[in-house]
Amino acid sequence: MANSASGMHVSDECKLKFLELKAKRNYRFIVFKIDEKAQQVMIDKLGNPEETYDDFTRSIPEDECRYAVYDFDFTTPENCQKSKIFFIAWSPDTSRVRSKMLYASSKDRFKRELDGIQVELQATDPSEMSLDIIKGRVNL
C-alpha cells in the first residue's frame, strides 16, 4: 500500500529481511534506498552477522540519502548480553535537495512498517552516527 503523503511503497522484501534481522538475527544491518522511478523503498545492502559497525558505516554512500537498521549487541554493566535495533535516517548535506525531501517525507511511514525498532538516529554527517553515539544511546 503506497503512502498517500509521499506515494512511497515498501517492498515485501524489506519487511521480510527486517523480520529475519529481528527474530533470527540473520543480518547485522540492512541499508535501504528509495527507488524514485518505482516510488518504492528497496534493500540496498544486507550485512552478515559477523560484520562490524565499521563495515556498516562503509556501506552507506557518502553523498546519497539512505535508511538503515543496525542490530547493536552490547554488554550491560551487570554483565548481561543485550541488543538494540537502531533505525538510522542518513541525509547528508551533500545529497540532492529532492532526495532529502523524499526521504524525510517517507521516513515515518517506512518506520511504521518495521515493527521492533528501539532507537532512532538522524544523521547528516558521519560523526552523528559514530559508534560512540550508538553506545551513548544505549547508556554504555
What is the residue extent of each domain of the chain?
A: 9-137
Tell me what pLDDT residue 8 has: 82
- What tens digit of pLDDT does each residue of 71-90 get? 999 999 999 999 999 999 99
Give all strands of the β-sheet with 40-47 in edge-to-edge order.
Answer: 9-10, 40-47, 29-35, 66-75, 81-90, 119-123
Tell me what pLDDT residue 136 has: 94
DSSP 128: G
Tell me what pLDDT residue 2 has: 45
Assigned architecture for domain 9-137: 3-Layer(aba) Sandwich (3.40)
Tell me what pLDDT residue 140 has: 65
Tell me what pLDDT residue 139 has: 78
Mean pLDDT value across the chain: 93
Q: If pLDDT is split at 50, 70 and 90, which confidence band does 4 have?
A: very low
Mean pLDDT of the region 39-51: 96
Cell numbers linked to 67: 535508511
